């Protein structure tokens, strides 16, 4: 059992496992990992059951149209035989054939930047479609990789003060009755009840509402982007394309440390990935409103979404779960191919006096600290 500490940062990499490795003929094709994109619709961060937004090779941001449309109050119908999506939104009827850039709105044809396609059984469309055909304002914030979609009705609520948003366009709960957290309307109560664990044992602590005041948006955007980039690496592993040197060097760049990271743990992980034929897919969605300081360490509460597509041992699928120390565990509840949503705290670390400007992922044991995370299967 090897130790994972802040000073010898051991970076997580997801290794998904299944109780019997599939044959080569049934394995999914090797995928290019995607950076997590937060999807915010009318002030609420959306949790999707499977397909996530992504940026295609031409630079178009693609979103799953059913969930966005339904969040904006539209009715969505799918004709599987003709491969056509019909969206009824207010007084508009929108017809979109898969594989075509041409969309018909009330009988009039408009051409999109990119065609609608199917991905994992979901129809995804270019983001421009949402603004042009569903009459919603769309903003892309590349600083922390997020799409914010606002309907005219919701904008009216913002304008008249009926709702209050944070710096990222997410809706605050009307009743901010916590000294510990900034409460968001899209976050379940049980997420705020997850305990806080100690890495160091200094006495000082600063809760999220107070610590937020010390950070400018640019610094928090950078921290969120860093955690997303780290888990783009750590939650997307395919034994067929896994390269130890690339993984180790990228991890070194994305983590906060004292200038040296022992490669031994990475090599053990690499051996495990190859031996167990691990394929895993996942994302991290850090919440910038939750950053706090606890006994010498900054943390940011993070939503994870992942699934194990192939492996021999379902309980060990990344550095967070592989050969854990006494503080963490290998989750025994993983089922092959099932998407999961978990919440836990990602530790942050820096040796610089400019901590706010240099904090990075600080530990490889974030996702499955014993007693300090919640999980559920997505449907």
Q: For the chain, what are the domain ranges?
A: 24-33+176-377, 44-159
* 3-state secondary structure (DSSP) of residue 163: coil
Does the domain made of 44-159 have the CATH classification 3.20.20.450? Answer: no
The count of other CB atoms within 10 Å of the CB of residue 135 is 13
Q: For the chain, give the mean pLDDT.
A: 91
Give 192-241 pLDDT, tens digit per residue.
Answer: 999 999 998 888 999 999 999 999 999 999 999 999 999 999 999 999 99
State how far the Cα of 236 lies from the Cα of 279, in Å rounded to an integer: 7
Q: Mark 41-50 as b/e (b = at least 16 C-beta within 10 Å).
A: bbbbbbbbee
The alpha carbon of residue 28 and the mean position of all alpha carbons in its chain are separated, in whole angstroms, by 21
Does residue 161 come out as left (phi exceeding 0), alpha (psi in the -120 to 50 range) or beta? Answer: left
Q: Count of residues for the chain?
A: 379
pLDDT at position 286 is 98
The one-character DSSP state at 28 is P
The count of other CB atoms within 10 Å of the CB of residue 334 is 25
pLDDT at position 23 is 52
Q: Residue 10: is its pLDDT beyond 50?
A: no
Q: Provide CB contacts within 8 A for 49, sequence distance 6+.
A: 339, 378, 379
State how far the Cα of 338 lies from the Cα of 347, in Å rounded to an integer: 26
pLDDT at position 307 is 97
pLDDT at position 1 is 37
Angle at 48 between CA 91 and CA 123, to 5 degrees: 55
Helix axis angle, 264-276 relative to 244-254, nearest 10°? 130
pLDDT at position 34 is 93
Q: Residue 70: is its pLDDT beyond 50?
A: yes
Q: Mark 145-169 as b/e (b = at least 16 C-beta within 10 Å).
A: bbbbbbbeebeebbeeeebebbebb
Q: Residue 95: is its pLDDT beyond 70?
A: yes
Nearest alpha-carbon partner for 234 in 281, 274, 276, 271? 281
pLDDT at position 25 is 54
Predicted TM-score of the model (pTM): 0.91
Q: Residue 174: is its pLDDT beyond 50?
A: yes
Q: H or E stretch including 76? A: strand 75-79
Nearest alpha-carbon partner for 36 in 145, 139, 148, 119? 145
Could you give the C-alpha distances from 265 to 12, 235, 320, in angstroms and in order? Answer: 10, 16, 12
- The two three-digit tokens of residue 272, written as one number: 């495990």
């Amino acid at each position: 059992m090897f130790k994972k500490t802040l000073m010898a940062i051991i970076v997580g990499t997801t290794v998904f496992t299944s109780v019997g490795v599939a044959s080569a003929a049934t394995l999914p094709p090797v995928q290019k990992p995607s950076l997590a994109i937060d999807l915010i619709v009318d002030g609420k961060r959306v949790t999707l059951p499977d397909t996530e937004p992504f940026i295609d090779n031409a630079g178009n941001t693609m979103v799953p149209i059913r969930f966005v449309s339904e969040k904006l109050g539209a009715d969505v119908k799918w004709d599987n035989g003709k491969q056509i999506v019909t969206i009824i939104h207010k007084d508009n009827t929108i017809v979109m054939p898969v594989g075509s850039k041409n969309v018909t709105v009330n009988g009039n044809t408009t051409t999109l930047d990119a065609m609608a396609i199917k991905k994992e059984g979901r129809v995804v469309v270019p983001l421009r479609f949402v603004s042009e055909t569903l009459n919603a304002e769309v903003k892309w914030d590349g600083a922390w990789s997020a799409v914010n979609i606002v309907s005219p009705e919701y904008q009216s609520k913002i304008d008249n003060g009926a709702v209050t948003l944070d710096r990222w366009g997410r809706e605050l709960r009307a009743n901010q009755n916590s000294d510990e957290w900034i409460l968001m309307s899209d976050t379940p109560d049980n997420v705020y009840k997850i305990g806080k664990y100690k890495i160091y044992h200094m006495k000082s602590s600063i809760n999220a509402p107070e610590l937020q005041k010390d950070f400018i948006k640019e610094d928090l955007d950078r921290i969120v982007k860093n955690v997303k980039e780290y888990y783009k690496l750590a939650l997307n592993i395919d034994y067929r394309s896994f390269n130890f040197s690339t993984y180790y060097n990228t991890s070194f760049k994305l983590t906060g440390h004292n200038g040296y990271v022992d490669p031994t743990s990475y090599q053990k992980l690499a051996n495990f990935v190859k031996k167990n034929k691990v394929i895993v897919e996942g994302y991290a969605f850090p919440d910038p409103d939750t950053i706090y300081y606890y006994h010498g360490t900054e943390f940011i509460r993070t939503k994870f979404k992942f699934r194990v597509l192939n492996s021999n041992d379902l309980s060990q699928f990344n550095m967070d779960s592989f050969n854990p120390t006494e503080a963490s565990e290998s989750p025994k509840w993983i089922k092959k191919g099932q998407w999961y949503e978990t919440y836990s705290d990602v530790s942050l670390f820096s040796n610089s006096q400019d901590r706010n400007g240099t904090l990075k992922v600080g530990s490889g044991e974030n996702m499955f600290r014993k007693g300090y995370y919640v999980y559920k299967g997505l449907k």
